[in-house]
Amino acid sequence: MDDSSFSLADLQVLSKYDPDLKGLLKRKFAANNEQFVEQLYIDIDDAIHLLETQKHMYQQGHWGEDELTGVITAFLKGRNYDAEHDTQHGGHIDLLVKHQLGRFEWIGEAKLWDGPAYIYGGWTQLNERYGTGTYRDNFGGIIIYVKQKKSQEKFSAWQSHLLEQVNDAVITPDNQNPLRFSSTTNHPASNQPYFVRHMAVSLFHFTGNAD
């Protein structure tokens, strides 16, 4: 098969056997926002896994929200996303990821765990200031860096707090990962559904004696 006869259809067939190629095609040719974020969440989870497996590197004080989010941004750029950290988009946002052709965009708000009320401040910024809640901008995310023990308990406390504060929030658990859940609310600007994925990054690293 020469180059002139190698078509997109051929790539799609090959992608069934090559996950990397499949991801590349989904990033490039997403037909709607749902397809775009479906692949984006796979890639963000890979970036989070990298952080978690290298958590010993991120314990010093200078590894805060900005620095940790910078690692995720660099990872996404390596997978050919148009990703920006610490940029202006309806306000000062932590992570902006755009479709390569500018069709869709996703906004992420990142926080170091300091209690549910602190995370709620990031939620308010994401939902009331940054996103538009329109067709091309109706997905977002909350990334919570937990350097303390028992990240799942803290993440559950955040979910409970969100439900207490936002009466119309509909929660969808992730049955495969207890450190993930999704919420759906009506965006205050558009009054259309706004979909947010909540992600905990478990970064506790034991440095004391085993006993």
Give the model's confidence band at 59: pLDDT under 50 very low, under 70 low, under 90 confident, else very high: confident
Count CB atoms within 10 A of the CB of residue 87: 13
**Residue 1: predicted pLDDT:** 43
Give 6-43 pLDDT, tens digit per residue.
Answer: 555 654 555 454 566 667 777 777 888 898 999 999 99
Domain range annotation of the chain: 34-202
**Residue 206: predicted pLDDT:** 79
**Residue 209: predicted pLDDT:** 43
For residue 128, give the DSSP letter.
I
* Residue found under tokens 């989904």: 26
Residue-by-residue DSSP string for 153-168: HHHHHHHHHHHHH-TT
